[in-house]
Every structure is written in structure tokens, then in C-alpha cells.
């Protein structure tokens, strides 16, 4: 049997942290992706420009560099803001910019950019007739968006969301570098202390493998459900 | 040098000749590491991708397992396993391999190469299996054997279909190489981390390297766009 030398509970807690981190980041990235795609398709030059700058900037910078910037820079910025508020208005404001928040913000921002592209493609794949029909029924723009566009574009977006999620899950490992005690961090400490790298890293790798394999099955099932009404030609 | 740059350089202690040299060395290490792992990865991936399309499961199965394992786990863990793991192989410290692997650069190079080779294998395999059947039939009708068909028809045609996905993989690898700084390699990110801890100046240190990576990314995007245009030039509309 696998003997984890007493690190078992810590590793299990770390796995929970990894999963929490992944889910919070996914929620943020989906929100940003919807906003970004809406901005890109809004027709407004300013909004399109902002969204394009966002996706271009994110794709040029490594995730780790951005994470370090948010983690170390975020605290400096919060400290500066806190000093300023205290000196000018005597407001006592402070918060600790911890690794978990930095991780969620960074991963959310990065995958928000990828989700923007996914959603943009999916919105464009919705037939124009559907929108015209909704307008003909007197739906407002918001109503058309919510009742017609969103449900129909999700079907097209699903494979893209699935791919992004798989990459996102693996990116969470990086947050151990800025000190979050996720399972990678626990395994690293255990491996160093016990001098048994294979013994601790291979189970962690297996957990990641199980998570990606499980999500693959789940996405396949979702995809099947979402496409239930679609007749495919041969 | 224009006056305002000289003045600006005089006024700050972070971007002086010393730190700029550190960044430069980091840049060289990053480019060196990424370039070598991509080239070796590609050379390994082409035969693996061909074997992966073979019908015999004893040939394609192990390759499938390799790509599945390396694509299903984070690169950081692969790096840790190799970096911390090689020292634990019994007896390695007495062989000449130890001379190579005690430098962190080589475990990192090995991890990056294995990782990119796994992704590239799947990209090339996807391109190979989507070769239009007519092309293969035509080649057979000309009497080409398997080897000739692969060399003259399938691989060139697959290369055209793979180049776009491969350019994404190259950029992904450039960005992923930032984790080399975790195992004490002073690449671009490593240089930024050193300079950050010396001056406690996160914005200057990290925004500057972010811009460096961005410049590298845009150069790669440009080169691949040229390459793609070159490879797909026969598909351009006649009057353009």
C-alpha cells in the first residue's frame, strides 16, 4: 500500500485547495470571457479596442510572470493605497494579498482572454435568422442576448471551454511557486524532507491525471446533452 | 544615446548596466532552453507521430500512453520529478551522467523536451490522419511504396496542416519555460526574481520581463505567419 509518511492528510487538503482554486478561476474566467466577447462584438470601437488589447496582452506574457507580478506587486499596491487612505482620510484599510487571491486573479485573467475568443467564435456561430426571429417577436437586445444567444452559443462554446478548463487545471500547479499550500507544494516539501521525490510527486501527478480524465468524460457527456436536438449530416 | 534616456538611466538604480546585463543573460538562457527543447522535441515527435498512426496496438499503444501522461499532468510536476528524481537514481552520482544532470539546466531541458514532444506528436498525428484519402490513393496509383508516400506526400501535406497548431505550441513552450526559474535557473524570469528581491521593486522587475516575453512572442507570431504564407502560397486566390 502507498505509505505517505504522515503527509496523507496534508496532501488531501492540498488537493482540495487545488480544486477550489480551479473552480474560482474558472468562474472568473467565464465571466471575463462573456464580458470580453460581448465587448468585441458590441460594435463600439472603444470596447472592441479594450477587449482586443486585453486578449493580446495576456497572450504575450507567461502565466508565471503575471502571477509573480500580481502577488508581489499586488501587496505593494495595497500597502501604498492603505498608506494613502490613512494619511489623507484617516481610513484604516488593509488587506493581505494572499497567494490564493493572486492565483485566482491571475488564472482568471489569463483564461478570461482565452474564453473571450471561445465565446466570440460561439456567438458568431449562432445563426443570424435566430436573432432576427427574436427581434421580430419584439425581444429587446438584452432579452435576445439572454434567451436566444446565450443558450445557443453555449453548444458551440462547450468544446472550447472544455479545452481551456483542461489547461487551466494544470496551470493551478504554478500557484505553489508563490507559496500556496496546494498539493504540489505539500508534495515538494515532503519530497525534500523525506528525499523521496518519486514517492510524493507521482501520486500528485496521478491526481491531476484523474482530474483531467474525469473532466474529459464529463465534458463529453455535457456535449452530448447540449447537442441532443442537432441533426448531423453525414 | 538621446539625452532623455541618458538622464533617465542616471536617475534610477534599477535599470543600470549591471541589471541590464543580468536580463540579457536571462534572455540568452531562455532562448537557448526553449530553442533546444523545441528542436529536439520536434525531431523526436515526427517518428513518434508516424508510429502512433500504425494500426498495431503494441506500437501505437505505448506512444499513446506517453503523450497521455505528459499532456495530462502539469509541466511543473514533470520538472520536479526529473529535477529531484535524477539525484535519487541509485549509483548515478558515480557515473558521468551526474556531471551533466547536477546542473539544473539539463533536467529542465529534458522535462521541456519530453513535454513539448508529447504535444507535438499529437499535433503531427492529427495532421497525418487528416490527409485526404485521394492524395494517398493517387500516390499508391503511382506505385509509391509506404516510405516514399510518407516522405513525398503525407508528411509535406501534414506539415501544412500542422503549422498553425505548432506555432501555438511554440508560444506555449516559451511561456512555460518561465518555470525554469523555480529550479534555480536564471532565465528571464529568474533574472526578474533576483532583481525584485534585491530592490523590492515588483513593478519594474516583472513588467520589464513581461515586455521582453511579449516581444519574443510577437517575433514568433510574425515568423510563423510568414512560414504559413510560404507553405500555403499555392492556395492563395489567383488574382491577389
Query: Looking at beta carbons, which residues of chain A come within 8 Å of B179?
Result: 64, 174, 177
Of B76, B80, B178, the CB nearest to A62: B178
Question: What are the distances in angstroms from CA A71 to CA A17, A100, A101, A167, B117?
Answer: 18, 9, 8, 21, 32
* CB distance B16 to B9 below 8 Å: yes
The answer to whether the Cβ–Cβ distance between B206 and A59 falls below 8 Å is no
Q: Which residues from chain A sit within 8 angstroms of residue B214, using beta carbons?
A: 57, 60-61
Every domain of chain B and the residues it spans: 22-231
Which residues are CB-contacts of A5 (< 8 A; sequence separation ≥ 6)? Answer: A190, A194, A196
Is the CB of A192 inside 8 Å of chain B's CB atoms? yes
d(CA A114, CA B74): 19
Show the domains of chain A with their CATH numbers: 8-226 (1.10.3720.10)
For domain B22-231, give the CATH number: 1.10.3720.10
Query: How does pLDDT run across B177-226, given as a tens digit for each residue?
Result: 999 998 888 888 998 888 888 888 888 888 989 999 999 999 999 999 99
Which of B182, B203, B209 shows the shortest C-beta gap to A73? B203
- A91 interfacial to chain B (CB closer than 8 Å): no
What pLDDT is attached to residue B79? 92
Percent of chain A scoring above 70 in pLDDT = 97
Local confidence band at B173 (pLDDT 50, 70, 90 cut-offs): very high
- What's the burial of B10, exposed, middle or buried (CB within 10 Å: 0-12/13-18/19+)? exposed
Q: What is the ipTM of this complex?
A: 0.86
**Residue B9, min C-alpha distance to chain A (Å):** 22
Whether A73 has its CB under 8 Å from any CB of chain B: the answer is yes
Cβ neighbours, 10 Å, residue A12: 13
Q: What are phi and psi of B127, to 5 degrees?
A: -70, -35
As a whole-number percent, the residues of chain B with pLDDT over 70 amount to: 95
Q: Which is more confident, A24 or B7?
A: A24
How many CB atoms lie under 10 A from the CB of residue B151? 11
CB-CB contact of B66 with B118 (8 Å): yes
Q: How much is the mean pLDDT over chain B?
A: 87
Tell me the CB-side half-sphere exposure of residue A4, using CA atoms within 13 A: 17
Does A176 contact B77 at a Cβ distance shorter than 8 Å? no
Cell of A64: 508565471
How does pLDDT run across A77-119, given as a tens digit for each residue? 888 888 888 888 777 777 777 888 889 999 999 999 999 999 9
In terms of residues, how long is chain A?
Answer: 234
- In terms of Cα–Cα distance, which of B163, B130, B151, B135 is closest to B229? B163
**Taking CB atoms and an 8 Å limit, are B81 and A59 in contact across chains?**
no
CA nearest B207: which of A69, A159, A175, A101?
A69
- pLDDT tens-place string over residues B69-121: 999 999 999 999 988 888 777 777 777 777 777 788 888 999 999 999 999 99
The CA-CA-CA angle for residues B99, B104, B106, to 5°, reads 65
Confidence tier at B8 by pLDDT (50, 70, 90): low
What's the whole-model pTM score?
0.88
Cα-based angle B145, B159, A156 (whole degrees, multiple of 5): 120
Substitution target from A22, A68, A191 for chain B, most B beta carbons within 10 A: A68
For residues A209 and B77, is the Cβ–Cβ distance under 8 A? no
- Segments of chain A scoring below 70 in pLDDT: 1-2, 232-234
What angle (nearest 5°) sits at the alpha carbon of residue B201, between those of residues A56 and B191?
Answer: 70
Interface test with A, best of B76, B78, B182, B194 (most A CBs within 10 A): B76
Amino acid at each position: 500500500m502507498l505509505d505517505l509518511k504522515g503527509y496523507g492528510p496534508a496532501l488531501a487538503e492540498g488537493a482540495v485547495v487545488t480544486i477550489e482554486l480551479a473552480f474560482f478561476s474558472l468562474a472568473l474566467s467565464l465571466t471575463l470571457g462573456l464580458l470580453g466577447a460581448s465587448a468585441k462584438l458590441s460594435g463600439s470601437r472603444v470596447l472592441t479596442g479594450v477587449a482586443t488589447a486585453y486578449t493580446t496582452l495576456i497572450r504575450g506574457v507567461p502565466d508565471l510572470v503575471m502571477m509573480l507580478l500580481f502577488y508581489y506587486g499586488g501587496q505593494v499596491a495595497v500597502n501604498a493605497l492603505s498608506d494613502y487612505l490613512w494619511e489623507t482620510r484617516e481610513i484604516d484599510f488593509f488587506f493581505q494579498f494572499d497567494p490564493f487571491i493572486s492565483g485566482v486573479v491571475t488564472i482568471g485573467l489569463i483564461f478570461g482572454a482565452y474564453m473571450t475568443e471561445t465565446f466570440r467564435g460561439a456567438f458568431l456561430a449562432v445563426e443570424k435568422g435566430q436573432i432576427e426571429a427574436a427581434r421580430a417577436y419584439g425581444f429587446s437586445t438584452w432579452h435576445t442576448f439572454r434567451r436566444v444567444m446565450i443558450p445557443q452559443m453555449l453548444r458551440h462554446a462547450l468544446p472550447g471551454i472544455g479545452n481551456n478548463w483542461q489547461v487551466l487545471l494544470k496551470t493551478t500547479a504554478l500557484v505553489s511557486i508563490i507559496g500556496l499550500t496546494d498539493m504540489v507544494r505539500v508534495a515538494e516539501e515532503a519530497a525534500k524532507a523525506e528525499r523521496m521525490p518519486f514517492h510524493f510527486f507521482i501520486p500528485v501527478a496521478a491526481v491531476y491525471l484523474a482530474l483531467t480524465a474525469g473532466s474529459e468524460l464529463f465534458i463529453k457527456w455535457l456535449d452530448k446533452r447540449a447537442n441532443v436536438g442537432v441533426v448531423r449530416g453525414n | 544615446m538621446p539625452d532623455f534616456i541618458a538622464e533617465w538611466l542616471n536617475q534610477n538604480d534599477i535599470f543600470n548596466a549591471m541589471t541590464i546585463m543580468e536580463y540579457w543573460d536571462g534572455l540568452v538562457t531562455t532562448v537557448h532552453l526553449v530553442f533546444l527543447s523545441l528542436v529536439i522535441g520536434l525531431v523526436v515527435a515526427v517518428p513518434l507521430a508516424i508510429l502512433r498512426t500504425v494500426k498495431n496496438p503494441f506500437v501505437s499503444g505505448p506512444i499513446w500512453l506517453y503523450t497521455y501522461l505528459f499532456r495530462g499532468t502539469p509541466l511543473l510536476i514533470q520538472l520536479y520529478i526529473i529535477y529531484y528524481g535524477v539525484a535519487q537514481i541509485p549509483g548515478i552520482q558515480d557515473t558521468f551522467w551526474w556531471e551533466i544532470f547536477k546542473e539544473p539546466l539539463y533536467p529542465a531541458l529534458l522535462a521541456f523536451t519530453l513535454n513539448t514532444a508529447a504535444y507535438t506528436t499529437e499535433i503531427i498525428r492529427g495532421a497525418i490522419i487528416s490527409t485526404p484519402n485521394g492524395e494517398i490513393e493517387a500516390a499508391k496509383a503511382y506505385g509509391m511504396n509506404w516510405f516514399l508516400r510518407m516522405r513525398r506526400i503525407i508528411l509535406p501535406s501534414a506539415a501544412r496542416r500542422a503549422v498553425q497548431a505548432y506555432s501555438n505550441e511554440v508560444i506555449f513552450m516559451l511561456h512555460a519555460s518561465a518555470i525554469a526559474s523555480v529550479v534555480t535557473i536564471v532565465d528571464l524570469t529568474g533574472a526578474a526574481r533576483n532583481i525584485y528581491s534585491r530592490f523590492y521593486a515588483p513593478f519594474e522587475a516583472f513588467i520589464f520581463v513581461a515586455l521582453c516575453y511579449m516581444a519574443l512572442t510577437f517575433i514568433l507570431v510574425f515568423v510563423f505567419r510568414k512560414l504559413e504564407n510560404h507553405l500555403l502560397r499555392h492556395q492563395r486566390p489567383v488574382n491577389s
